[in-house]
Amino acid sequence: MYNIALIAGGDSGEYEVSLRTGDNIYQMMDKSLFNPYLIHFKGSDWTWKDAEGKIHPIDKNDFSLMVDGKKITFDVAFIAIHGTPGENGKLQSYFEMLGLPYTGCGSFSSALTFNKYYCNLAVSALGIPISPSLHFYRSDRIDHDTIERVCGYPCFVKSCNSGSSVGVTKVHNVSELDKAFEEAFKYDNQLMVEKFVRGREMTCGVTAIYGQVQTLAITEVVATNEFYDYDAKYSAVGHKLLTPASISPEHQAVLKQYSERIFHHLDCKGVVRIDFIISEDDGIPYFLEINTIPGQTALSIIPEQVRHNGLDLVDFYTRLVMEALKK
C-alpha cells in the first residue's frame, strides 16, 4: 500500500475549486492500492483532518505527519492545487528538494506555462498560432494607443499568473480599460492584453501514461456568458460542454497535433488541458492557454474526456500515481 498525500486548497482565487477537485479525486482513488490523505493547504497551514475531526499539522522539514505518536511519510504527492503554490512551480520545487515524487508537470514547465504571456511566447516558437498580445507590469504606463493598434477592441485583459479565468475581463472600448487593469492587478503584478478572436472555443486533454502521450477527446465550450468565466466553469449554468466536439476531421487532427507538440516540447507530465479557439474569420485554431492542473470536479472537463476515451476514472488516477512513482 502506498501512502498518497492528496493536496488541495492553496492561496489563490481558485481555493474553493481546488477543494472540490481534491474531494473528487479522493473518491476516485483505489483504496485497495493507496492510503490517500487529503492534505489541506491554506497559507502556512498545511494540515490533515482525521476521521474524528482532529487536525494534524504537516512537518514541512520532510513533509510528514505525526499521528498517535507514529510518523507517517508519503510515497507520492498528488498535487490538486490550482493556482499558487501548486500550479506555478513552487510546490514542485519543494518536493524536488525533498526527493518526494509528485504528480504532474515539473517545476520549470509549471512556472513557464502558468505565466500566460511567457507561455504564449514559448508556444509561438513552436509554430503554433497565437493571438497578438502585450505585456504590462503594475509599474508600467498604460499605453492606450499601442493597445488599440496591436489588440484593438474588444480585447481581453488577463492577470498573467492566475487560472480559471480569475482576473480576466473582456474590454469593449478604451473607457473600460483602466478598470480591467485594476481588476487584473488584484491577482498579480503583471498582466497581458490580448486581441479578441471570435470563434469556437475548444479544449483538449493530454496525458502521458507509461511513457505514451495520448490526447483525450476534444470538447467544445459553448458559453452563454460573454466568455467562459469563473462562474461558468464551476457551475452547471452559463455554458454547455460538447464532448466530442463537432468539428471537421482536419480541425480535429490539427488540434491534437498542436496539443501533443505543446505537451512534448514544454515537457508536460501527468494530465493537462490545452485551450484553443477556432477563428470564425480565417478558420485557424489559435492557442489560448495551458492548464497544468486542470479542474477535476464532478462538473469539470477532464473527467468527461477521460470517460469518453473509454477509460475508467479509478484506473486513470491509479496510472497517474504510478507514473509519478517512476520519476
Q: Is the same domain home to 189 and 316?
A: no
Q: Is the same domain home to 207 and 144?
A: no
Q: Is the same domain home to 220 and 178?
A: no
In angstroms, the CA 253 to CA 7 distance is 35
Averages of pLDDT over runs of 10 residues in the chain (327 residues) are: 98 91 97 98 96 95 96 98 95 98 98 97 98 97 96 97 80 96 94 98 93 94 69 61 97 98 97 98 97 93 96 96 91
Q: Is the same domain home to 218 and 254?
A: yes
User: What was the pLDDT predicted at 62?
Assistant: 98
Question: Which among 21, 55, 27, 19 is positioned nearest to 300, based on CA atoms?
Answer: 21
In angstroms, the CA 74 to CA 89 distance is 20
List residues bridging with 192 in a β-sheet.
Answer: 135, 158
Query: Cell 496539443 belongs to which residue?
Result: 259
Residue 313 buriedness (CB in 10 A; 0-12 / 13-18 / 19+) = middle
Query: 174, 195, 216 — which closes off a domain?
Result: 195
The region that residue 91 occupies, defined by phi over 0 for left and psi between -120 and 50 for alpha, beta otherwise, is alpha
What CATH number is associated with residue 54? 3.40.50.20
Q: Is the same domain home to 221 and 296?
A: yes
Under 8 Å between Cβ of 13 and 167 = yes
In angstroms, the CA 254 to CA 248 distance is 10
Cell of 33: 492500492
Write the DSSP symbol of residue 284.
P
In angstroms, the CA 168 to CA 160 distance is 9
Beta-strand runs (E) in the chain: 2-9, 34-42, 45-49, 55-57, 65-67, 70-72, 76-79, 133-137, 155-159, 168-171, 190-195, 199-209, 212-223, 239-242, 271-279, 285-291
User: What was the pLDDT predicted at 163?
Assistant: 65
What stretch of H or E contains 145?
A: helix 144-150
Q: Is the same domain home to 228 and 291?
A: yes
Report how many domains make up the chain: 3
What CATH number is associated with residue 303? 3.30.470.20
What CATH number is associated with residue 173? 3.30.1490.20
Query: 161, 178, 195 — which closes off a domain?
Result: 195
User: What was the pLDDT predicted at 289?
Assistant: 95
Query: 143, 173, 195 — which closes off a domain?
Result: 195
User: What was the pLDDT predicted at 241?
Assistant: 95
In angstroms, the CA 270 to CA 293 distance is 9
In angstroms, the CA 250 to CA 158 distance is 30
Q: Is the same domain home to 137 and 249?
A: no
Cell of 133: 498580445
Question: Which among 274, 248, 245, 272 is positioned nearest to 259, based on CA atoms?
Answer: 274
Q: Is the same domain home to 6 and 97?
A: yes
The answer for residues whose C-beta is within 8 angstroms of residue 165's C-beta and 6 or more apart is 227, 228, 229, 230, 233
- Name the residue range of residue 20's domain: 2-103
Under 8 Å between Cβ of 276 and 285 = yes
Question: Which among 279, 202, 215 is positioned nearest to 247, based on CA atoms?
Answer: 202
Q: Is the same domain home to 191 and 293?
A: no
Residue 3 buriedness (CB in 10 A; 0-12 / 13-18 / 19+) = middle
Write the DSSP symbol of residue 235.
S
In angstroms, the CA 192 to CA 173 distance is 16
Q: Is the same domain home to 213 and 260?
A: yes
Residue type, 293: I
Q: Is the same domain home to 92 and 157?
A: no
Q: Is the same domain home to 155 and 73?
A: no
User: What was the pLDDT predicted at 13?
Assistant: 81
